[in-house]
Structure 1
């Protein structure tokens, strides 16, 4: 199971296997959502998490 949390235009987008599953106003909420999904996951399946931040000027 591959999760990605992406900062974009002031929102935090959570994707699983490349598909958007949720949007949050804050990073903490997005990471909490991923943590909840990982608790529900089958440990034998394995998991990864990537973070991408919006470029700063």
Structure 2
């Protein structure tokens, strides 16, 4: 997901509709993956590292 995000920036500089359309073209589940990552990072910031 992060790789797709950064690759999209090679063509689209701003986080606008065209940027997210390109991300979804490269990774159809982009929005879900971004949501999951943000949720994980928020949880980690609040409660610390998750040890498995």
Please state which band the TM-score falls in when normalised by the shorter chain: 0.3 to 0.5
**Higher helix proportion:** 2
Pick the structure with greater CA Rg. 2
State the TM-score, normalized to the length of structure 1.
0.35
**Higher strand proportion:** 1
Structure with more relative contact order (C-alpha pairs < 8 Å, separation 6 or more): 1
